[in-house]
Amino acid sequence: MNTGRDDFLTWVSRERGAALPVRTTDAVLTMLALRGAERRAGVPEPTPQLVRQVLHEDLPQLLYAGDEELDAVPAVLTALADRVRAAGRLNAKRHAKLVAAVEEAVPEFRRATADPLNLTWPRWYASLLSADGVDRDDADAVRAWLDAHESTPHAERPALPEPLHRSDLADRTFSVRARLTEALLEAFARDTRAASPAGPLLPAPPLDADRPDDALTGELDHIAVELTDRWTAAGLEGELTGRHASLAPGPEAVPHASLADHMLDEHLDYYGDSAVPLPPPAAVPAPDEIQGLLHAAPLPAALASGNFDDELREVSERCGLPGPASEVWTAGTPQELLELAADILAAQAERLPPVTGPEDAYSFDAAHLLYSLYERGSTPDSVARKICDAKDDGVAPELEDAPAPVPGSAPAAYETPSPDELSVLLGMPGRTEEDRAEIDAPAKGLAAVVDQLALTGCLFRTGDTYGLTPLGAAVMRHVITVGHVAAPDQETVAGWDAAQTVAAVRHWPTQLAASALAAFADRRGGTDQAWKELLDAVAAARSEDANAARTAEYFAQLDRAGVPTTALRAALGDPVTGAAARRLLLSRGEDVPEDAVPLGARATVLVEELDQRWIDDMLVHVKSRDVSGDTGIPGPADIPPTTLLPAFDAAAADWPGGAIALVEALAAADPATCLRVLDSLHTHHPDRAVAAAAGRTRKSAERTLSGRR
């Protein structure tokens, strides 16, 4: 490649009496040239923008270099700037600016180079070769090391750095190669349009071949392989795509990576943020139990033995069992066995049909089913309840995430629960045979999907109850973390402080949230101080985050967790949560005067209550519009405040200063939640002074929110 590398190294040696490392110099010059740097000076001419791109995006993923080679990167770029200036292509001001850009870019370059998320298979194996003292420029030595490494028992091989999985390196390697090939193609296009005065950058491809497009692609692939070898280890790329391909699987060899992508999509649909943590399973198998559980599962055992029907041949081929994965089956590490179990689960899930309601009223696939089980803390669910929830047929809120009871035994064939059983499962008394008949077909369809997934050893079904097995919980946690969704284990949760605990459990099922809060306090001796930390964290979350849960929801969790009365009394003076603490004390039969609570805390509870009244009114209004055939979308002020106005007036009657003072207090307490309440008051309140105050205050609340952003 025409980068002027050798002449540049000679110039540096002559002018500076120093020798720059060839690998580092080659990578820097080549990537600058591929990114479009001018070469009129005989070398790629860096600019501040190109320096940042090459140091921050390219080299951390393409180059593996020892400490001395990495330390030389600034020297290479500085010498390059000097060489371009000596050629008359850079004045003093631009030279100084370029050198400053190099110095500014180096810290991020070092961070990115050390970031495990930038590892590719070639960089990973180059690091192992270097650690073992292998000459990475000797292709025979590299090949011999790979031979020895592949024959090393899996448990004795170095583990990937946390938090990486094989799928991460497979995806990263694929994407890095694609970007390198794209850069080569762009360089070829520039050479074709107007070659630099220094000559074409790339060697001329054999375009006189019978199929010139294929010839060009082949030549660019050959150059990409050559560059990868020069920047990692000689002959490494060919070995990892040839004889030793099992050491560096591509995305197609990791079936559960696609399931992990589905998990990320599901999580973003639920929460909009991959960092929102899911509750950990109560128990997962010990590492030395994984193999026994996997071998005992019907589908994995059938695949390993080769004794399966043709309909499972695609699953077998996807998982490499029997085949490349057979060695993992017999002698894999617990982590490798877990990944194999994930591959089998993913391949099985892919082939199953979705569960669809009458007239496509709802539809969900096996991936959704798996996510929903883990999202509920890996607790068992009910087939019938899942169908009723999907068809929006009414499930009592307190039962939506409640664990379904697991019967001691049940017939293998699925039977939809009786009307009386449905009434209990749904928390909706009076279910009828008609209700049962309506869900019978989709419930049996869901049970059939669960039974197929259960063959993997990751799910179970007993009667109407189904869920993840301990193996399934471990497999799903692995898959979800591969999707880069926060899925902490029990140990991680135990290490959270109060703020982290409160922020996480607001999304969890009530019982799991309560257990996590109680465990936090128990680990700190169950003292009032421990509970105070949680109460303070609730107050901080409620005041700082407009999207935080309502105080009523937080305190319902705390109540179930067993927050002591003494801690609640100590919280009465809190300007945010004092009224919620008083309400919980009153529900326990305690006597607490209202004036023990700050007005701001009372306003916080009131604005939440009034907003709930607005929601109730909205639901009634929307239902009536559906009945009348009105398809328009009502605005916040269009909702008749059937319950909102009476609730506001009742609160205003006891509020110091009356209705207008209450309007202002609501906005001060929670400018985000109050907006639609104030909209409704502005439009519908019969007292025009109150209505006008609501309109003015709403504008003020919007300005407050804008200032927070």
pLDDT value at position 206? 64
Average pLDDT over residues 564-573: 97
Return the biggest CA–CA distance within the chain. 94
Q: What is the domain extent for residue 219?
A: 121-246
Say whether both 202 and 179 belong to one domain.
yes
The residue from 494, 518, 546 where one domain ends is 494
Angstrom distance (rounded) from CA 215 to CA 574? 74
CB atoms within 10 A of CB 52: 16
Say whether both 536 and 461 belong to one domain.
no
Cβ–Cβ < 8 Å for 608, 651: no
pLDDT at residue 708 greater than cutoff 70: no
pLDDT at residue 208 greater than cutoff 90: no
Chain centroid, CA 438 distance in Å: 37
Q: pLDDT tens for residues 22-76?
A: 999 999 999 999 999 999 999 999 999 999 999 999 999 999 999 999 999 999 9
Average pLDDT over residues 555-574: 96
What share of the chain has pLDDT > 90, as a percent?
84
Cβ–Cβ < 8 Å for 330, 347: no
Q: pLDDT tens for residues 610-641?
A: 999 999 999 888 887 766 666 667 776 778 99
pLDDT at residue 209 greater than cutoff 70: no
The average confidence (pLDDT) of the chain is: 93
pLDDT at residue 302 greater than cutoff 70: yes
Q: What is the DSSP string of 162-218?
A: TT--HHHHHHHHHHHHHHHHHHHHHHHHHHHH---TT--SSPPP-TTSSSHHHHHHH
Average pLDDT over residues 78-90: 95
The first and second tokens of residue 171, run together, are 């995806």
Chain centroid, CA 146 distance in Å: 34
Q: pLDDT tens for residues 237-257?
A: 999 999 999 999 999 889 999
Q: pLDDT tens for residues 644-697?
A: 999 999 999 999 999 999 999 999 999 989 999 999 999 999 999 999 999 999
Say whether both 570 and 660 belong to one domain.
no
The answer to whether the bond into 60 is cis (omega within 30° of 0) is no
Chain centroid, CA 281 distance in Å: 17
Q: Distance between the two ends of the chain, CA-based, in angstroms?
A: 50
pLDDT value at position 377? 95
pLDDT at residue 546 greater than cutoff 80: no
Q: pLDDT tens for residues 587-610?
A: 999 999 999 999 999 999 999 999
Kindly indicate the confidence band of residue 169, based on its pLDDT and cuts at 50, 70 and 90: very high
Angstrom distance (rounded) from CA 166 to CA 157? 14
Say whether both 578 and 526 belong to one domain.
yes
Q: Which parts of 245-309 fold into alpha helices (H)? A: 256-271, 290-296, 298-305
Cβ–Cβ < 8 Å for 534, 577: no
pLDDT at residue 499 greater than cutoff 90: yes
pLDDT value at position 207? 58
Say whether both 390 and 302 belong to one domain.
yes
Map tokens 């559906």 to a residue.
626
The residue from 47, 82, 114 where one domain ends is 114
Say whether both 373 and 453 belong to one domain.
yes
Q: pLDDT tens for residues 440-469?
A: 999 999 999 999 999 999 999 999 999 999
Average pLDDT over residues 560-578: 96
Task: Name residue 363's beta-bridge partners.
Answer: 356
Say whether both 647 and 701 belong to one domain.
yes
Say whether both 586 and 697 belong to one domain.
no
Say whether both 346 and 475 belong to one domain.
yes
The residue from 246, 281, 315 where one domain ends is 246
DSSP state of 109: H
Angstrom distance (rounded) from CA 613 to CA 647? 8
The first and second tokens of residue 47, run together, are 């600019």
Angstrom distance (rounded) from CA 569 to CA 466? 42
Least reliable range by pLDDT among 83-87, 159-163, 266-270, 392-396? 392-396
Identify the CA nearest to 328 among candidates 253, 389, 380, 257.
253
| CB under 8 A, 24+ apart: contacts of 321-326 | 324/246, 324/253
Say whether both 540 and 574 belong to one domain.
yes
Q: In what order do the strands lie in the sheet with 459-462?
A: 381-382, 465-468, 459-462
pLDDT value at position 630? 66
Torsion sign over Cα 559, 611, 673, 632: positive
pLDDT value at position 393? 65
Angstrom distance (rounded) from CA 587 to CA 606? 17
Angstrom distance (rounded) from CA 497 to CA 23? 46
Say whether both 317 and 449 belong to one domain.
yes
Angstrom distance (rounded) from CA 693 to CA 336? 65
Average pLDDT over residues 118-125: 98
Least reliable range by pLDDT among 18-32, 205-219, 354-368, 668-682? 205-219
Average pLDDT over residues 125-135: 97
Say whether both 417 and 336 belong to one domain.
yes
Q: Give the amino acid at 209.
A: A
Report the phi/psi class of residue 377: left, alpha or beta, with left for phi > 0 and alpha for psi in -120 to 50: left
Q: Which parts of 284-357 fold into alpha helices (H)? A: 290-296, 298-305, 313-319, 326-331, 334-350
Q: pLDDT tens for residues 143-158?
A: 999 999 999 998 899 9
Query: For the chain, what is the domain count?
Result: 5
pLDDT value at position 486? 96
pLDDT value at position 709? 54
